């Protein structure tokens, strides 16, 4: 089973929690600073002045929460300036809502105490209402809860028409759900994250971690989740589950399921939240000791394969055991079936060979490629011309031009970034050979 969870791995920026004993603090000063900077930036077309105002009036006066959300979401100054210049109607429509952040302090404190009733060992955390560059409504870093107020405090009156077409509908759907009405629930969701163990970077673990946070926060507030993805998932459970089962082992597939307006066949973003939420709900309902079940869910160790497998099994969510789902995935993956110019592992390859043509078991998408170093490192990677790479007409072969030396061992790793039109990744394949003497 370790190989299954290991295969799921890909990069992500999310942290979890350690904090000192202190009362929860809610900080909103970044919002006022942002709007002062915004007005100055909009007053000039001089890009040098725009960056100066952003830095002096916002970044330099920023809280630790602003620094943290920039780190967590890799926000650059260019991200902010582009968002401000490209979406003026959006910013004007959301400004009034963001300035209401202070009004939610008492409700938030009450919500945190409700969370403490369910989970008495709750550790304190600071909540920062800040403004980002449109890539998160909420996240965490260490013991900090970070609210992207420009997203989290939007409502049905927030303007979406300026956004690119590929994300406009997703934003409109989200704004129409009046997220500002559920800002307390969002904060509690992020607060739960500060209690959880650090994230392991695979799609299944992300779904569980997010789903547990959403389920626990909803349970504490005794309200249904306000996340549109969970409502949609419950109404379309079988087809959403089937799609996740088919894709959860894909590498680099995060954007289709989390924190993104990446288009999918359902027209609803963040459906990974539903997957984890339903697993958490199932697990909680079948456990007799509810408080113990809640503690186990919050304290799941994502580095412990056996613990995660036990949770998945007890949730009885998937249509088959993980091992069977993984094998189904493996059976669908295309493979490298050979090399046109020589046999792999040959020890006498002609050093005058000028190209290597890789043959696949099925047509690939003709776009995604991936060639990397083998265990021997860059010294064993053949010299090549990046312009000398091309697909066959049927996309069942891909050629890389090479310049080989005599009596030398070479390696090329054909990675799983090669994929079919349906995004099914290729099984990685190591090309290893040695050239003959002249």
Is 119 part of any domain?
A: yes
Q: Are residues 285 and 427 in the same domain?
A: no
Contact 204, 249 (CB under 8 A): no
Q: Are residues 66 and 140 in the same domain?
A: yes
Q: Are residues 295 and 366 in the same domain?
A: no
**pLDDT, tens only, 78-132:** 999 999 999 999 999 999 999 999 999 889 999 999 999 999 999 999 999 999 9
- Name the band, by pLDDT with cuts 50, 70 and 90, for residue 20: very low
Which of 256, 261, 226 minimizes the C-alpha distance to 243?
A: 256
Is 331 part of any domain?
A: no
Q: Are residues 219 and 119 in the same domain?
A: yes
**Residue with structure tokens 């582009």?**
82
Is 25 part of any domain?
A: yes
Last residue of one domain, picked from the residues 296, 324, 352:
324
Is 303 part of any domain?
A: yes
Is 330 part of any domain?
A: no
Say yes or no to pLDDT of 301 above 50. Answer: yes
Domain containing 397: what range? 336-434
Distances (CA, A) of 197 to 18, 25, 430: 9, 22, 35
Say yes or no to pLDDT of 311 above 90. Answer: yes
Q: Are residues 202 and 228 in the same domain?
A: yes
Q: What pLDDT score does 9 carry?
A: 44
Q: What pLDDT score does 21 carry?
A: 33
- Name the band, by pLDDT with cuts 50, 70 and 90, for residue 8: low
Q: Are residues 149 and 64 in the same domain?
A: yes
Last residue of one domain, picked from the residues 324, 347, 379:
324
Is 416 part of any domain?
A: yes
Tokens found for residue 356: 């290597």
- Name the band, by pLDDT with cuts 50, 70 and 90, for residue 19: very low
Contact 417, 370 (CB under 8 A): yes
Is 329 part of any domain?
A: no
**pLDDT, tens only, 371-412:** 999 999 999 999 998 889 999 999 999 999 999 999 999 999
> Does the predicted TM-score (pTM) go above 0.85?
no
Is 385 part of any domain?
A: yes
- Name the band, by pLDDT with cuts 50, 70 and 90, for residue 1: low
For the chain, percent of residues with pLDDT exceeding 70:
95
Domain count for the chain = 2
Q: Are residues 95 and 177 in the same domain?
A: yes
Q: Are residues 352 and 296 in the same domain?
A: no
Q: Are residues 76 and 219 in the same domain?
A: yes
Q: Are residues 320 and 348 in the same domain?
A: no
Distances (CA, A) of 379 to 153, 279, 355, 374, 383: 53, 47, 18, 10, 10
DSSP 371-412: EE--TT-GGGSPEEEEEEEEE-TTSSEEEEEEE--TT-EEEE
Say yes or no to pLDDT of 307 above 70. Answer: yes
Q: Are residues 119 and 216 in the same domain?
A: yes
Q: Are residues 313 and 357 in the same domain?
A: no
Last residue of one domain, picked from the residues 302, 324, 346:
324
Say yes or no to pLDDT of 189 above 90. Answer: yes
């Amino acid at each position: 089973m370790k190989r299954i969870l290991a295969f799921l791995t890909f990069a992500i920026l999310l942290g979890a929690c350690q904090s000192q004993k202190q009362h929860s603090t809610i900080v909103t000063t970044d919002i006022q600073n942002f709007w002062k900077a915004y007005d100055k930036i909009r007053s000039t077309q001089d890009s040098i002045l725009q960056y100066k105002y952003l830095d002096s009036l916002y970044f330099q006066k920023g809280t630790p929460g602003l620094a943290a959300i920039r780190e967590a979401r890799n926000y650059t100054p260019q991200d902010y300036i582009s968002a401000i210049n490209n979406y003026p109607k959006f910013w004007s429509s959301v400004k009034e809502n963001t300035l209401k952040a202070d009004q939610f302090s008492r409700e938030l404190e009450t919500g945190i105490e409700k969370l403490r009733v369910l989970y008495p060992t709750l550790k304190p955390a600071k909540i920062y209402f800040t403004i980002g560059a449109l890539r998160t409504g909420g996240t965490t870093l260490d013991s900090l809860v970070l609210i992207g107020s420009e997203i989290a405090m939007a409502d049905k009156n927030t303007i979406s028409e300026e956004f690119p077409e590929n994300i406009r509908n997703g934003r409109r759907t989200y704004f129409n759900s009046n997220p500002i009405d559920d800002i307390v629930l969002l904060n509690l969701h992020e607060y739960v994250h500060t209690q959880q163990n650090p994230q392991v970077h695979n799609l299944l673990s992300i779904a569980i971690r997010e789903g547990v946070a959403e389920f626990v926060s909803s349970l504490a507030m005794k309200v249904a989740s306000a996340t549109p993805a969970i409502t949609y998932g419950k109404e379309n459970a079988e087809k959403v589950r089937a799609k996740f089962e088919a894709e959860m082992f894909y590498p680099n597939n995060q954007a289709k399921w989390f924190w993104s307006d990446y288009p999918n066949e359902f027209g609803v973003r963040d459906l990974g939240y539903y997957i984890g939420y339903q697993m958490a709900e199932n697990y909680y309902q079948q456990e007799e000791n509810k408080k113990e079940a809640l503690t186990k869910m919050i304290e799941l160790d994502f580095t412990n394969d056996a613990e995660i497998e036990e949770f998945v099994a007890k949730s009885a969510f998937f249509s088959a055991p993980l091992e069977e789902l993984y094998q189904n995935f493996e059976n669908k993956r295309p493979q490298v079936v050979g090399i046109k110019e020589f046999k792999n592992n040959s020890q006498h390859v002609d050093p005058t060979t000028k190209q290597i043509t890789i043959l696949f078991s099925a047509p690939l998408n003709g776009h995604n490629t991936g060639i990397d170093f083998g265990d021997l490192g860059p010294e064993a990677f053949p010299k090549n011309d990046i312009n000398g790479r091309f697909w066959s007409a049927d996309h069942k072969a891909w050629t890389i031009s090479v310049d080989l030396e005599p009596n030398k061992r070479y390696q090329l790793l054909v990675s799983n970034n090669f994929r079919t039109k349906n995004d099914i990744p290729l099984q990685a394949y190591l090309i290893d050979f040695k050239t003959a003497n002249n």
